[in-house]
Amino acid sequence: MTAIRPAGKPRARAHWLLLPAAAVLLVVFFYPLATILWRSIAEPEFGPGNYLAVLGDAVALRVVLRTLGTALIITAVTLLIAYPYAYAMTLVGRRARGLLTLLVLMPFWTSLMARNFAWYVLEQRGGVIERAFAAIGIHGVTLLGSVAGVTVAMVQVMLPFMVLPLQNAMLGIDRGLLHAAGSLGAPRPTAFLRIYLPLSMPGVLSGVSVVFIMSLGFYITPALLGTPQQALVAQVIGTRVNDLLDFPGAGALGAVLLVITLVVLALLGRVAGPVGASMTGGGDRG
Amino acid sequence: MTEPMTGIATTQVTKAYPGSERPAVDDVSLHIADGEFMTFLGPSGSGKTTMLSMIAGFTPLSAGSITVDGREISRLKPHRRDLGVVFQQYALFPHLSVARNVAFGLTQRKRPKAEIDRRVGEVLEMVGLSGVRERFPRQLSGGQQQRVALARAVAYEPRALLLDEPLAALDKRLRDQLQREIAHMHRELGMTFLFVTHDQQEALTLSDRIAVFNEGRIEQLGTPAELYERPGTLFVAQFLGESNALRLRPGEVTIVRPERVTLHTGTESVAAGQQRRSATVTDVVYVGDHSRIWLRYADGARGCAVLGAGTTHEHRPGSEVVVAWHPEHEAVVPDAEGNPK
Ligand SMILES: Nc1ncnc2c1ncn2[C@@H]1O[C@H](COP(=O)(O)OP(=O)(O)O)[C@@H](O)[C@H]1O
Ligand SMILES: [Mg+2]
């Protein structure tokens, strides 16, 4: 009943294959990151000044909170759309599944700017969305310049990052388990809640982590579709760097964002831990 | 026909999957008596699983009806049917411990916690797995997983237990062992068992009665001995073990089982009144408790004789023999070639 795993040696030997990637990461990621963090504590004079400034700045804090809130809403909306979508993908035939995959990957094939301008046109005053709502009797729906407008556009681009891990997890669920639950006396909703949902959790957690973290760092979409009054962290960092040339201050704000991201990842990891362990725990099938 | 009061009855049950030319299950009527061990036996694709899953409620019927104790169930959802199901691939819930898997049906029925605990202990003990309550399915061997699945399916004392090729994924030794355990469970629980298999040996060993499936229909239904000794069709004769299938008269085939023939080196030793046929030995296989002598008759038909372990014989491949049997051991079936299905 003990698991037979590949011996440790070949794996250790394969480590040098990671060298090129590690080198690139070191130069283009860790070096700049270290520079920014260093400057955030070293300039204009050494000390926690920049951080105290950020934490004491009501505007900056409000921006951080707004960013977290927006990312949370985007993640929730994406999950609500992606879950049934991914579920449907596991039920249909191969060809329909291919088509559904194509549809969800569409945002990847349009350039970032083209996509955002398309949303700009759709969401603007007198645009398609406003007229569509007006046609069913709801007037004055202008998404442009609102958090809702930003959310809609960001959800679209985030969908594949949620759908793909969900679908991956769902394809691994034996549908016979639902039959088994039914025969044991569970009505469909119970079978879903007690069996299907927990088994799809690894997909939910990885989709949620990716979407939440990516949403924290969005820059162009909120800049174009939102308003400066409702700016998100990435825009504020951009303003500090580009307009105010405040590199240390931007670095401090960036570090705050990084810490929040790491905390979220750690929390999700704690939730994912037990779920994953119970399903893969112990040995392989004997 | 009057509706039988107890047990499971199917009346003219048909299932046609959309887009397939012939029905997967075609006009099947049968009655499984209360407490009976009934087996659906047939080759792959003959409709056994479809039939079982219509009874379990996973597949809707195209036509016909199914009753349990006289109550129509064919339109009830699976969770309202009170049947236990055991699947070929175990279908244990991977994220729940063994104890919680086994408790699942009892939890759904909102039994008190103490009763659930007691019952889980009882059924796990029955399948010899008291020590693994807190393990997860992945940590168990295939045989242990199937035992847990059996325990889970009987824990809430369902009206009947349906088993779809439960032993097919296991190796031979485990299969034999679990076969005995399933027979023991059936006796112990007195529950109606509906067992699906493509393995004729398994069917003959376990069943009170066997329904032989072929292309969605029941070819023959009877006790193992009836089916083996008195097959009604060539298909049944050939599906259930070896036979000497001889075309003695046009339009029909005479079936004689290998245990019912004797081999002679000349006609002198053949008793009067016995049927006889000459054949050539093609192969001799010693299997320990018996020997199998493979034969080819003059018309090219293949056959087989079984000689008990104590028998000494000098048959070698190439020897000419006379095959003899008593006419009462013959079964005459229509020739499939003159009577195509
Ligand atoms: N879901 C399905 N859709 C279409 N055809 C099916 C489906 N399930 C089974 N069949 C067909 O029905 C026939 C009987 O299948 P099945 O009941 O699984 O047979 P068995 O269990 O005896 O091997 C086969 O021809 C099979 O291809
Ligand atoms: Mg089958």
Q: What is the pLDDT of residues B243-286, one digit of tens each?
A: 999 998 889 999 999 999 999 988 778 888 899 999 999 999 98
Q: Of A183, A284, A285, which to mutate for an interface test with B (greatest number of B Cβ within 10 Å)?
A: A183
Nearest ligand 1 atom to alpha carbon B164: 21
Which residue minimizes the CA distance to atom 20 of ligand 1?
A: B45
- By C-alpha distance, which of B313, B240, B330 is closest to B276? B330
The whole-angstrom distance between residue A86's C-alpha and the CA centroid of its chain comes to 16
Average per-residue pLDDT for chain A = 83
- By C-alpha distance, which of A135, A202, A216 is closest to A168? A202
- CATH 3.40.50.300 domain extents, chain B: 8-229
Total of domains in chain A: 1
How many Cβ contacts (< 8 angstroms) between chains A and B?
91
Per-residue pLDDT at B2: 56
Find the range with the poorest average confidence among A202-211, B124-133, B306-315.
Answer: B306-315
CA-CA distances (angstroms) from residue A216 to A35, A142, A197, B228?
A: 21, 24, 26, 73
* More confident call, A59 vs B277: B277
Q: Is A181 a domain residue?
A: no
Per-residue pLDDT at A87: 95
- CB neighbour class for A182 (10 Å; exposed up to 12, middle 13-18, buried from 19): buried
Q: Supply φ then ψ for residue B87, to 5 degrees.
A: -105, 160
If one residue of B39, B50, B61 were mutated to test the ligand 1 pocket, choosing by the most ligand atoms within 8 A of its CB, it would be: B50
Q: Which of B53, B79, B91 sits opposite A185 (nearest CB)?
A: B79
Q: What percent of chain B has pLDDT over 70?
A: 97
Reduced to 3 states (helix: H, G, I; strand: E, B; else coil), residue B334 is strand
Indicate whether this complex's ipTM tops 0.90: no
- The residues, any chain, with a CB within 8 Å of residue A197's CB and separated by 6 or more, are none
Q: What kind and span of H or E run contains B291?
A: strand B290-297
- Report the alpha-carbon distance of residue B160 to residue B76 in Å, rounded: 16
- The CATH classification number of B8-229 equals 3.40.50.300
Q: Which residues on A lie below 8 Å from B58 (Cβ)?
A: 179, 182
Residue A139 has pLDDT above 50, yes or no: yes
Residue B22 has pLDDT above 60, yes or no: yes
Spatial strand order in the sheet of B63-68:
B25-32, B8-15, B63-68, B71-72
What is the pLDDT averaged over residues A7-17? 65
Q: Which of A1, A199, A280 sits opposite B141 (nearest CB)?
A: A1
Q: Is A90 a domain residue?
A: yes
Q: Is B245 part of the contact surface with chain A (CB cutoff 8 Å)?
A: no
Residue A281 has pLDDT above 50, yes or no: no
Residue B136 has pLDDT above 90, yes or no: yes
Residue B199 has pLDDT above 80, yes or no: yes
Q: What kind and span of H or E run contains B311?
A: none
β-bridge partners, B245: B255
- CATH 2.40.50.140 domain extents, chain B: 243-338
pLDDT-based confidence at residue B337 (cuts at 50, 70, 90): low
Interface contact B136-A190, CB threshold 8 A: no
pLDDT digit string (tens) for A70-116? 899 999 999 999 999 999 999 998 899 999 999 888 877 888 778 88
Nearest residue of B to residue A182 by CA position?
Answer: B79
Residue A264 has pLDDT above 80, yes or no: yes
- Report the alpha-carbon distance of residue B147 to residue B175 in Å, rounded: 12
3-state secondary structure B103-118: HHHHHHCCCCHHHHHH
Find the range with the poorest average confidence among A92-106, B111-125, B193-207.
Answer: A92-106
- By C-alpha distance, which of B49, B114, B112, B119 is closest to B86? B49
Residue indicated by tokens 């779920």? A275
Note which residues in 54-73 of chain B have CB less than 8 A from chain A.
56-58
Average per-residue pLDDT for chain B = 92
- Report the alpha-carbon distance of residue A33 to residue A155 in Å, rounded: 28
- The residues, any chain, with a CB within 8 Å of residue B166's CB and separated by 6 or more, are B86, B87, B88, B146, B149, B150, B178, B182, B195
Q: Is A129 a domain residue?
A: yes
Distance of CA B43 from the midpoint of ligand 1 (Å):
11
Q: Supply φ then ψ for residue B199, to 5 degrees.
A: -100, 110
- The residues, any chain, with a CB within 8 Å of residue B66's CB and separated by 6 or more, are B8, B9, B10, B11, B13, B54, B55, B72, B73, B74
- By C-alpha distance, which of B101, B109, B97, B87 is closest to B157? B109
Q: Is B139 part of the contact surface with chain A (CB cutoff 8 Å)?
A: yes
CA-CA distances (angstroms) from residue B308 to A153, B190, B205, B304, B319?
A: 81, 36, 20, 13, 19
What is the pLDDT averaged over residues B313-333? 91
Note which residues in 159-198 of chain B have CB less than 8 A from chain A.
162
Residue A125 has pLDDT above 90, yes or no: no
Exposure b/e, B289-316, CB count within 10 A at least 16 = b: eebbbbbebeeeeebbbbbeeeeeeebe
Q: Is A44 a domain residue?
A: no
Q: Is A17 a domain residue?
A: no
- Report the alpha-carbon distance of residue A35 to residue A33 in Å, rounded: 5
- CB neighbour class for B282 (10 Å; exposed up to 12, middle 13-18, buried from 19): middle
Find the range with the poorest average confidence among A220-234, B104-118, B166-180, B302-316.
Answer: A220-234
Nearest residue of B to residue A174 by CA position?
Answer: B91
Please tell me the total number of residues recorded for chain B in this structure: 341
- By C-alpha distance, which of B326, B331, B310 is closest to B260? B326
Per-residue pLDDT at B1: 52
The whole-angstrom distance between residue B244's C-alpha and the CA centroid of its chain comes to 22
Local structure of residue B74 (DSSP, 8 states): T
Class of domain B243-338: mainly beta
A192 vs chain B: nearest CA distance in angstroms?
Answer: 12
Residue indicated by tokens 């083209």? A114
CATH number at residue A270: 1.10.3720.10
Query: What domain range is A131 assigned to?
Result: 59-171+199-275
Give yes or no for a contact between A181 and A195, defined as CB atoms under 8 angstroms apart. yes
Q: Is A281 a domain residue?
A: no
- Report the alpha-carbon distance of residue A254 to residue A241 in Å, rounded: 11
Distance of CA A44 from the midpoint of ligand 2 (Å):
76
Give yes or no for a contact between B321 and B315, defined as CB atoms under 8 angstroms apart. yes
Q: How many Å is the Cα radius of gyration of chain B?
A: 24
Q: Is A163 a domain residue?
A: yes
Which residue minimizes the CA distance to atom 2 of ligand 1?
A: B17
